[in-house]
Homo-oligomer: A and B are copies of this chain.
Amino acid sequence: MPVFMIDVLPEDAPAASIESSVHRVDGQTPTLDVRDLGAARGDGVFETLGVVGGRPQALDAHLARLANSASLLDLPVPNDAQWRHAITVAAASLPADRQGGLKVVLTRGAEGGSRPTGWIVATPADGDFAERETGISVVTLDRGYSSDVAQRAPWLLAGAKTLSYAVNMAALREARRRGADDVIFLTSDGFVMEAPTSTVILRLGDRIVTPRTDIGILPGTSQLSVFEFAADQGLRTEEALVPASDLTRADALWLVSSVRLAVPVTSVDGADVPVDLELTRAMNAALLARRN
């Protein structure tokens, strides 16, 4: 599992300094100071990219979201060319005949320091993603925030992809306690948000719907690709305020993310949801075919 440490460069650094700023390290050697604010405070941002054929998928969308997360946390603007280079190098380190993923991290760096810390962990997929066919069961959990939280309280960082994911991990443990595979978060006022590590997409008749991001959720990079695919298929796509009741009246429901891609949801809180396997397969074929 290759790890790449990155000497984070300012936005305006000369292009010549980029190549030497990315260092592949032996994955077993510790490379992070425990006082790094990423480790001490969960104070940083990240992206997870899918890798197919040794190439990163949806690179532009992930770089745009990384920059947006950094801005929401008042981190220095990432050097686009540096991260593009580092991500491309890390993706190329994975076996070209298998799918894989990259975790790309930017932290605030050492306490009192002025320089962020960056790294990328490259991981080959260990399975065949059977859940893309068999589907998953989900439970809904209250995220505790109302749907106007992003407007009302930007300091809560709703919509930023931060390293502070303890709640997301706790929600997944709660799902397993309830005998389910994954979680769909709801706002405290009853609207569908997102999953701890993926985006929710519903089919309602001929409409492909995903929750509006202004309720305080992440813009989905894979969801964006799914919407492009759906539009090509002549389906209407829509960002909407989605009441929780739509989950069980949906004609199909998916969680989509960069590595697992589109996974059909077979039940919500124990209630069966129809699976559109044909559309799911077409979605995943389109997602796997992405070049960027």
Q: Residue A144 contacts which of B36, B46, B149 (CB distance < 8 angstroms)?
A: B149
Please tell me if the beta carbons of B43 and A32 are within 8 angstroms of each other in the complex: no
| Shortest Cβ distance from A160 into B: residue | B166
A98 sits at the interface (CB 8 A): no
A85 sits at the interface (CB 8 A): no
**A28, A46, A141, A162 — which one has the most chain B CB atoms within 10 A of its CB?**
A162
CB distance from A258 to the nearest CB of B (A): 15
Interface string of A21-41 (1 = CB under 8 A from B): 000000110111111111111
Please tell me if the beta carbons of A152 and B162 are within 8 angstroms of each other in the complex: no
CA distance A246 to B32 in the complex (A): 44
Q: Residue A163 contacts which of B41, B160, B173 (CB distance < 8 angstroms)?
A: B41
Please tell me if the beta carbons of A166 and B41 are within 8 angstroms of each other in the complex: yes
Question: A152 contacts which chain B residues (CB < 8 A)?
Answer: 142, 144
Q: Residue A171 contacts which of B41, B119, B143, B155 (CB distance < 8 angstroms)?
A: B155
Please tell me if the beta carbons of A174 and B145 are within 8 angstroms of each other in the complex: no
Give the number of times this chain occurs in the complex, counting copies: 2
Please tell me if the beta carbons of B145 and A157 are within 8 angstroms of each other in the complex: no
Knowing A73-B170, A152-B142 are in contact, say whether A35-B162 is a contact too (CB < 8 A).
no
Q: Residue A165 contacts which of B42, B74, B103 (CB distance < 8 angstroms)?
A: B42
Please tell me if the beta carbons of B164 and A167 are within 8 angstroms of each other in the complex: yes
Q: Residue A157 contacts which of B32, B46, B170 (CB distance < 8 angstroms)?
A: B170
**A158, A169, A188 — which one has the most chain B CB atoms within 10 A of its CB?**
A169
Please tell me if the beta carbons of B41 and A165 are within 8 angstroms of each other in the complex: yes
Knowing A146-B188, A153-B142 are in contact, say whether A34-B105 is a contact too (CB < 8 A).
yes
A121 sits at the interface (CB 8 A): yes
Additional A-B contact list (5), CB under 8 Å, known A3-B34, A40-B103: A27-B35, A30-B31, A32-B39, A38-B39, A42-B42
